[in-house]
């Protein structure tokens, strides 16, 4: 057991090359060492040397074939090499060896997701959760299935919130919750929370930077529209009143369209921006007072409410059109790889797996 503990420690510390060297030495001295063989495959897989780990799995199959964990690894190798038929066969073999292991049900569900067999994937994920209600990967995969493929982000968010009650610092679960949140304000708050837990998460940092750039762009756009609105009042002699009225209506429509777009990623700027635009586009500067401010605020409130619901309707239509599409399913499959890679495999010392006699 001592050498297994050492291999497990190297794996948990992400020292994959050192783990690879150690397992090679142990296999050279005892080629029947199953623990060394499995950790050898894990080391190669963690280095994303998929072709090499595929060849190693074929060499080591004779001494590892009775372990479901070996077939689970082979499933993931086949998925990375896009061999879906082989992946399903390996996942079924792992399940037949240890049916009551939630890992194996989740493993087969990943294959079903790649094959776009949503119903079967859901069945095995629910089966995994019935065996282990707090199984991280099964819960996150099921949340992705509901949120990305079944048009039920409400179910996805429920699963994720329950999971985060037990693991509040799970960055990927927070990322999924932000993805399925309809509130841009809540989404930004969740992304900031992720960055506190995982400062090196470049994807989230990039999303937040993009949010800041969008806010600056929206602020500049509102300022330009406000200046144009003021201009139509300050220089009425530049054009006829009818033409200026048409320009103001055009500015109003552009302002409304801008607000619909801004509502898709921010909830604070649109209301303030529209109030400013209504004040500058409807009333000339010499008429600005408390009454005109209240009137422009009332107009802005009505337009803001309509822009908000139109933005939500467009977001819902976009989600509905992309659901069950191959690209959407591929996004879920890629995300499932991200979960699997972030799992930090429990290794041999902590699995429920016991070698078959």
Averaged over 119-133, what is the pLDDT?
94
Give me the chain's average pLDDT, please.
82
- pLDDT, one tens digit per residue, over 56-96 is 999 999 889 999 999 999 999 999 999 999 999 999 999 99
* pTM for the full predicted model: 0.72
Q: Which pLDDT does position 57 carry in this prediction?
A: 93
DSSP E strands in the chain: the ranges are: none
Which residue intervals of the chain bear CATH 1.25.40? 1-65
Per DSSP, 36 falls in state H
- Per-residue model confidence (pLDDT) at position 237: 62
Residue 233, token pair as written in the block: 């009042």
CATH tag, 1-65 = 1.25.40
Mean pLDDT of the region 129-148 = 92
Residue 265 vs residue 125, higher pLDDT: 125
Rounded CA gap, 239 and 203, in Å? 50
Task: Compute the C-alpha angle 197/198/201, nearest 5°.
Answer: 150
Report residue 127's pLDDT band, with 50, 70 and 90 as the boundaries.
very high
pLDDT tens digits along 261-318: 888 777 666 767 777 777 777 777 777 888 877 887 788 788 888 888 888 788 777 7
- In terms of Cβ atoms closer than 10 Å to its own Cβ (0-12, 13-18, 19+), residue 212 is exposed
**Does 353 have pLDDT greater than 60?**
no
Distant-in-sequence, close-in-space partners of 295: CB < 8 Å, separation ≥ 6: 282, 283
The predicted pLDDT at position 79 comes to 92
Query: In the predicted model, what is the mean pLDDT of residues 331-351?
Result: 54
Q: Where are the beta strands (DSSP E) in 46-171?
A: none
The tens digit of pLDDT for each residue in 197-241 reads 888 888 888 888 888 888 888 888 888 888 888 887 776 666 666
pLDDT of residue 309: 85
């Amino acid at each position: 057991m001592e050498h297994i503990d050492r291999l497990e420690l190297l794996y948990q510390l992400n020292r994959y090359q050192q783990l690879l060297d150690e397992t090679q030495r142990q296999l050279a001295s005892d080629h029947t060492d199953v623990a060394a063989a499995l950790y050898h495959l894990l080391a190669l897989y963690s280095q994303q040397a998929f072709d090499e780990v595929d060849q190693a799995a074929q060499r080591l199959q004779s001494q590892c074939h009775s372990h479901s964990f070996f077939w689970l690894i082979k499933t993931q190798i086949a998925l990375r090499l896009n061999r879906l038929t082989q992946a399903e066969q390996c996942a079924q073999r792992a399940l037949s060896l240890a049916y009551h292991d939630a890992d194996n049900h989740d493993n087969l569900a990943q294959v079903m997701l790649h094959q776009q067999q949503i119903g079967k994937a859901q069945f095995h994920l629910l089966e995994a959760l019935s065996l282990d209600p707090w199984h991280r990967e099964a819960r996150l995969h099921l949340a992705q299935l509901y949120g990305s493929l079944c048009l039920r982000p409400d179910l996805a968010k429920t699963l994720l919130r329950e999971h985060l009650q037990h693991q509040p610092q799970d960055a990927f679960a927070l990322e999924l919750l932000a993805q399925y949140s309809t509130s841009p304000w809540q989404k930004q708050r969740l992304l900031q929370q992720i960055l506190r837990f995982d400062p090196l998460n470049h994807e989230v940092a990039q999303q937040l930077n993009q949010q800041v750039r969008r806010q600056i762009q929206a602020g500049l756009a509102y300022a330009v529209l406000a200046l144009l609105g003021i201009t139509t009042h300050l220089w009425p002699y530049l054009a006829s009143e009818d033409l200026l009225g048409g320009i103001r209506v055009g500015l109003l429509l552009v302002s409304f369209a801008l607000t619909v777009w801004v509502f898709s990623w921010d909830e604070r700027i649109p209301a303030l921006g529209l109030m400013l635009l209504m004040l500058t586009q409807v009333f000339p500067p010499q008429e600005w007072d408390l009454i005109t401010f209240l009137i422009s605020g009332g107009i802005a409130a009505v337009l803001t409410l309509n822009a908000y619901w139109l933005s939500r309707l467009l977001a819902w239509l976009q989600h509905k059109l992309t659901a069950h599409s191959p690209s959407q399913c591929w996004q879920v499959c890629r995300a499932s790889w991200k979960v699997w890679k972030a799992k930090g495999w429990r290794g041999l010392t902590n699995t429920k797996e016991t070698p078959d006699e």
